[in-house]
Structure 1
């Protein structure tokens, strides 16, 4: 399970961790605006969307060990290219490449393996441990990366040269590349070639098309869209800390890195609560909490006196987002999707659920660039409020539908 958890986070470290933890430095080193960085992620989202469904079908037919290890090595190769600090066109190509390598042969096999590991009664625990462990891996590696950043910047943080930023970001990229390749080796060594689960009930259709007629599946997809949008919102907290909380680049990166240690706590706690109560109840509470927190953040104006309140709100929102992300796939078991179609179901949910990879960064970048200062962040939080309410509504309808049966 350790290798699965570690690989499950490292596969996404190059496309997402660098921008999440080191956004101000990344923007300066690559000479990008928020809008440009958001648009660069667009081809990732398109290729990922095209990969989820066929990748899910492959997961139901082929060895997870081979699929996942190849994905990790292919993703690491992109990190080597990124370390040369390519121009914007090269970055478009790179993120398109990662859209395929991180999803097509990896995502559904991982989710399927975790569902099988969790059995009938421990889905919350299984998915909570997966995302909690992934969060611990992300936090630990980001702490090492913050150390690399500090060493590259030296002692004078007020006079950082362009060369220092480029050197720092290159070191961080190579660090994540190394860990991604190492995860590929771990998967190849430790994950067995599992058996392919087939449906043996002759009275139920075996075609994946039956899943498209299941309203529960579509409601789950809406829940994932909403939760994943909140997760994408975390990528902008380091920039917000620099712009409004009087932090420098190193302090902001350290803040987000330290906050990411809440992920194992939130995910595992949510997983245990899901097994005791239900996934729908815990997810509904999390969305409600996020709507309140984002509303407060949209209203608060920064000052020395209330910065502590703002930081507290940010930290609680980290916790709630991590709780959501840790358990939303536990709904696959709660809604009784056939085990033999798990990979396909996850593929369908993910095609819709991870569309924020297509639009969220471009939208957020334009909101911040076109509305400089506090108004941009207020609009940003309005968007997150809307997604929280959409997710809450979908969860409510999923509970109603379940109670009618």
Structure 2
């Protein structure tokens, strides 16, 4: 009984550590810019399009990192890979504190494309799939995404309070200088948090075993075998369409600023509020995925995203801020819900657990391509169509991708039913 209790506690702390690592590593490149987007644009004196190109640069490097990170995860322990990824990522944050220039921003985003993905992504997904076993894949990935969302919301809220207290305590004439100083404080705190989570990973995660190295010799042959599976391609399309939705959440704080008329602090609070919905919807999706089928739940979510995005585009809800916020919130349910479970589909389509690293690398190589094109596209739309029109066009783009995702998820659901009949 005592051993069982210790095992459960150990398992809980392993998942908790994976959750922290899986989100903390993205604080510097994505979460902080998402919350403080209007401020970041002013600190570096850049446009939405220019910020989008930095995200795109991260995505270009990350594409190759996803592909090569899969076999790497099947060869080395998650403990080593994830700890190194966190330590190296934190270094990029400290670099921006000392060199707050555009050229540094360019170099660091390319660097982060490598450190955040190559050693972490596939290793984290594989470890989570192993944690979930055969009967709790939905919960495992729901806990992972929900926990990551909770971590992002906590740190985002703390960063907002720190920034707001410093920024609002100075005279009008000093605002730009204080804006830069406040943002640097946020970077320093976030970089230290990232580094210390790396230490936690090294202390908690198991060391791994030699069997992974033997298995890795077969990985490249496995990749060619996986390429032939229709489920890989359908799941990759689902990830593409879902990730477009996730990238568009970067627009939420700017939407609040430019459309709802909120100031910098209130618009950052709006972005932080959106982050708090992420753990709620991801956890809910995990339970729904185990009760029904992951593919079924994803079909419903894509339908929700398509409908809500069209409402925002059509402008029928513009007369009421409450109506806009409600529809945007329901939209987030679909976006965060799909993110919580799209990797759990691997179990219902028959991808062997030993091939998880390679499968995740391959799906991510295709699925996360919005990292390359979505931010520049969104930046171009917002800069060339100022005000509410630009934001409406952004949501039209989201509705189109949601329709593609709906078709792919219906096809994958039918494929999963056929696989179930075979076994």
TM-score by length of 2: 0.91
Determine if the alignment matches structure 1 residue 326 to structure 2 residue 332: no
Alpha-carbon offset, residue 89 of structure 1: 2.2
- Which structure: greater helix fraction? 2
Supply the distance in 2 between the matched residues of 1:316 and 1:159 (Cα, whole angstroms).
40
Q: Among 232, 238, 243, which residue is 2:253 paired with?
A: 238
The reply to whether residue 97 of structure 1 matches residue 111 of structure 2 is: yes
Are the equivalent residues in 2 in contact too, given 1:41–1:92 (CA < 8 A)?
A: no
**Deviation, structure 1 residue 207:** 2.7
Cα distance in 1 for residues equivalent to 2:54 and 2:251: 16
- What secondary structure, in the 3-state scheme, does the structure 2 residue paired with 1:261 have? helix
Q: Given the alignment of the two structures, is residue 359 of structure 1 paired with residue 337 of structure 2, yes or no?
A: no
Structure 1 contact 199–340 (Cα < 8 Å) conserved:
no
Q: Does 1:9 align with 2:15?
A: no
Q: Which stretches in structure 1 are left out of the alignment for 5+ residues?
A: none
Contact 2:298 2:409 in 1 (8 A): yes
Aligned to 1:87: 101
1:254 pairs with 2:273: no
Query: Which residue number in structure 2 is paired with residue 264 of structure 1?
Result: 279
What SS is found at the alignment partner of 2:342?
Answer: helix
1:2-401 to 2 correspondence within 5 Å?
2-155=16-169, 161-195=175-209, 196=211, 207-300=222-315, 305-401=319-415
Describe the superposition over 1:224-281 as per-residue Cα deviations: whole angstroms up to 9, x where unpaired.
Answer: 0010110010011100100011111111111221221111111111000100100001
Deviates more, 1:374-383 or 1:363-372: 374-383
CA shift, 1:291, in A, is 0.5
| CA distance in 1 between partners of 2:26 and 2:171 (Å) | 29
Query: Counterparts of 1:378 and 1:218 in 2: how far apart (Å)?
Result: 30
**Greater Cα offset, 113-122 or 188-197:** 188-197
CA separation of 1:335 and 1:302: change in aligned 2, threshold 3 A? closer
Contact 2:24/2:194 (8 A) holds in 1: yes
Unpaired runs of 5+ residues, structure 2, are: 1-14
Contact 2:244 2:398 in 1 (8 A): yes
Alignment partners' CA distance in 2, 1:293 and 1:104: 35
What residue is the counterpart of 2:11 in the other structure?
A: none
CA distance in 2: counterparts of 1:165 and 1:32, whole angstroms:
15
**Aligned equivalents of 1:228, 1:168: Cα separation in 2:** 30
* 1:359-382: CA deviation from partner (whole Å, max 9, x where unpaired): 100000000101112221121111
Q: Return the TM-score normalized by structure 1.
A: 0.95
